[in-house]
Amino acid sequence: MSIKGLIKGLREFRQNYFCTHQELFQRLSHYQAPEVLFISCCDSRIDPNLLTQTQPGELFILRNIGNIIPPYGITQSSEGAAIEYAVQALKVKDIIICGHSDCGAMKGLLQLGKLSEQMPLVYDWLKHHGQATRRLVEDNYKDCSGESLLRVTIEENILTQIQNLETYPVIRSKLRAGELYLHAWVYEIEIGRVFAYNASLGQFVPIENLSPVPNPLPLTNIHA
């Protein structure tokens, strides 16, 4: 869509949606109280509010290339600041890391060397913060290739980021107290379905078939 299309959309928003939701926006102008931190990729095909059918103010959204969360203490990152604010100030009760099919970042991670000259900043980001996923896939999925390899890389990357979240002191504290839960999702663009990680089964399954199932690992609460 061109900038002209966006401006037209702004007019339509003001004339239609805003006019019928003025009470909501009046309330939001004074405070926010989302209960969920939704972490996803920058990919233009992913719209967290559309996907979950939520209203403005219901999700605190963090997006970056590859839905990657650097471990605590590795770097002073905006991701870490957003997580800390969401958990400590907004007191969100759930954190979702949502990857997606056909992820360009994960494709790049599997062919990292080719990025160094064309997209050096993307290369540096994936090299520094995607290495754990890359190593895990290389060591454990030697027989996978093509779409199958991309799929497992997307899934393993999400689970790696869940583990990285657990390195944050504020998250570990809330997990221990049972005040926070972590969720690992994969959105399949082509079929419009979300698959959630079931810790008891050790795999991603269609989310509509599940009730929340806590991960049996200590300190960790991964829900469907």
- The tens digit of pLDDT for each residue in 73-131 reads 877 789 999 999 999 999 999 999 999 999 999 999 999 988 988 999 999 999 999 99
Assigned token pair, 15:
């004339």
The pLDDT value given to residue 221: 53
| 3-class SS string, 126-173 | HHHHCHHHHHHHHHHCCCCCHHHHHHHHHHHHHHHHHHHHCCCHHHHH
- The tens digit of pLDDT for each residue in 10-56 reads 999 999 999 999 999 999 999 999 999 999 999 999 999 999 999 99
Does pLDDT of 222 surpass 70? Answer: no
The pLDDT value given to residue 209: 60
- pTM here? 0.91
Percent pLDDT > 90 in the chain is 85
Give the mean pLDDT of the chain: 91
Residues in the chain: 224
User: What residue type is 119 in one-letter code?
Assistant: M
Q: Which residue has the tokens 């900038």?
A: 3
Instruction: Give, in order, the Cα–Cα distances in Å from 61 to each of 42, 113, 117, 134, 202.
Output: 11, 31, 31, 25, 27
* CA–CA gap between residue 24 and residue 37 (Å, rounded): 20
